[in-house]
Structure 1
């Protein structure tokens, strides 16, 4: 069970005494093996607030990857897990630059800080008083002073501001597709309460467009190759119906939308195989991406693309051999080329790459990438050398 912070805990953590206690415990390893020793040390150094201090140290460590520089922030367990990665939050804030913005589920302030840096005026609200106090602390550490209000997200307290919401996710029970009622508050309720208002809702990537008819634009956002979220934009904020935004931690980014051409042929394999970013695939923009970069499809139902010149800034696969797929033929190829380390990518075939690798038992000195897919009904394999294409 996650630790339940109290207002007294937060007041202690924000005090000079609490900051000293947190700094002292930050030196502890906090591993499974060291847990008993760490707890004993923390109780001796901190006293009765030791659990709040240890939880804070662990949450800060977990949050560091997605919120660099937030070492002095305060979190709850759920808030740290759901917080938007800093580049993703900054991208969304840039789309709302110069507007009045109200974050109605501001939690501990991860998105609020980014919004306040670009908005003309920014309000944050949450029903949880502990999270609001944490948000005030976190914003102050970043030199940000938005107006903070305790309020239910479904009871509007502003009138003309753009409404931004990041509803909590219920357990989806293993489903790949999310439903409006899988969120708290539900997407349907948010759309009803804020009908006629500019509305932006962050949600899970598996949401179906049919489930959110009010969303004029669905934007899929990835960071460093991992799809992080779908963002729903109401009519007056939309500039396309479907958008894929690809972000990198180095600050580079690009986007593709369904407003671009998508007329691409299906043809024989070229010199390269290109596996589009997951945001492009999930947004249904593979053909638009291909048209932009002069690529074509191997099969109109498969997301792999091919061409003679790969797009800049991607990891692409230079084709060395191409043949019909069979496990026997693949094993013979690996043996012939002395391949011992093999990366296996699969689309359109019912093959588990890890299970296949174990069966192949490669033992050579070299390495290769294998792309398994189908063209029509024919299973095929591409034996490739992966290369990072300069941006």
Structure 2
């Protein structure tokens, strides 16, 4: 979004038209809608602006639910914005630590600042991009305890601020930035703030662990089985004795596995009746050993994040599969087994083997009314295919 588009949108006519539009349908006749709006006398620029926002609002419902229908977005801002369910957890961390004023440096469209303000905390949201700062101002307008400033994180005034939240921008207009020194603000700047006040820093879940401070709490977060972020907490925002945490949010609510350090591994054991797939947050937090011990399970291989045992995992931190057959990882043998069982729908998972699941499924040519999950992995020193069904 550019300034001209924003000016079209932030008018009484633009906002009224946006709210009056029917729900955006990507399969609908967009050209006919454009023609209809133009026939009503709306300018081309305004029509383009409101239809873009209608499309973004529809996408944003996955992150913001019904709140998306009263917010404005940019493409990049929506992509990087924290899901509202996760932002609420972040906000609760500040509230629980007794913080009364939070600076959100690099606030984007204002998702985290919104959740913080909703808990009654004062929040100063700083955003360097002019358009994005205006969008954040709109989204935070209902909260009198929230203020948006256009500027850089490095130049923000922090006198009196109790804690800082940062979500460094990890891409520019055209590409993802791999070097943390190029992020805005840089990772060194973000962690440097921890010398003076508590901070929370949101990062991508695949960040190099060597970049994470050893004396902070690091929390990996997954939503609906997808790892969405890692957050580094310092000072009063970090929990005593916790250095590793895996937070799982889903239909069950939320659950968390915590530890003072990476968990000690468990020894591999023989295949049991069930295969357990740990949540990605547990894997990234290196808490698989603690999870295995809580389930009475072992690993299938020292370097592979699958567990096995004789009982299903009644845990939000793992999914279980009943093992129907252990087969050699051989295409001909697998084709015969699938045909004998009349399995036509095959979900393929793999760890520890160099196989393209989509191509492998195509070569298996499954046919029939039944379904199953095929897990390609290693057990001990063997490459195996485990025919399983979800529990």
Q: TM-score of the superposition, structure 1-length normalised?
A: 0.88
Choose from 348, 354, 361 the match for 1:357: 361
Could you say which residue in structure 2 is the equivalent of 1:275? Answer: 277
Give the root-mean-square deviation of aligned CA atoms. 2.7
Ranges in structure 1 where 5+ consecutive residues have no aligned partner: none
Structure 2 Cα separation of the partners of residues 30 and 369 of structure 1? 32
Structure 1 Cα separation of the partners of residues 267 and 337 of structure 2? 30
- Cα-to-partner distance string for 1:214-267 (whole Å, 9 max, x where unaligned): 76222111100111111122254333222111111x361111123386463321
Structure 2 Cα separation of the partners of residues 302 and 167 of structure 1? 32
Structure 1 Cα separation of the partners of residues 266 and 294 of structure 2? 10
Q: Partner of 1:255: helix, strand, or coil?
A: strand
- Displacement after TM superposition at 1:283 (Å): 1.7
Ranges in structure 2 where 5+ consecutive residues have no aligned partner: none
Could you say which residue in structure 1 is the equivalent of 2:18? Answer: 22
- Displacement after TM superposition at 1:178 (Å): 4.9
Alignment of 1:139-154 (within 5 A): 139-141=140-142, 143=143, 145-154=145-154
Range with bigger deviation, 102-111 or 192-201: 192-201
Alignment of 1:1-391 (within 5 A): 3-6=1-4, 10=6, 13-26=9-22, 29-31=25-27, 34-45=29-40, 46-47=42-43, 48-69=45-66, 70-97=68-95, 98-99=98-99, 100-118=101-119, 120-141=121-142, 143=143, 145-159=145-159, 160-170=161-171, 178-181=178-181, 183-192=183-192, 195-213=195-213, 216-239=216-239, 240-248=242-250, 250=251, 252-259=253-260, 262=264, 264-312=266-314, 313=316, 315-387=319-391
Q: Partner of 1:123: helix, strand, or coil?
A: strand
- Displacement after TM superposition at 1:332 (Å): 1.7
Q: In the superposition, relative to structure 1, how do residues 83 and 385 fare at CA in structure 2: closer, same or farther (>3 Å)?
A: same
Structure 1 Cα separation of the partners of residues 374 and 76 of structure 2? 39
Range with bigger deviation, 301-310 or 215-224: 215-224
Structure 2 Cα separation of the partners of residues 75 and 371 of structure 1? 40
- Displacement after TM superposition at 1:116 (Å): 1.6
- Cα-to-partner distance string for 1:315-341 (whole Å, 9 max, x where unaligned): 310011123322222122111211111
Indicate if the aligned counterparts of 2:193 and 2:199 stay in contact, CA closer than 8 A: no
Indicate if the aligned counterparts of 2:137 and 2:147 stay in contact, CA closer than 8 A: no
Q: Partner of 2:304: helix, strand, or coil?
A: coil
Indicate if the aligned counterparts of 1:56 and 1:74 stay in contact, CA closer than 8 A: yes
Q: TM-score of the superposition, structure 2-length normalised?
A: 0.88
Q: In the superposition, relative to structure 1, how do residues 174 and 280 fare at CA in structure 2: closer, same or farther (>3 Å)?
A: farther
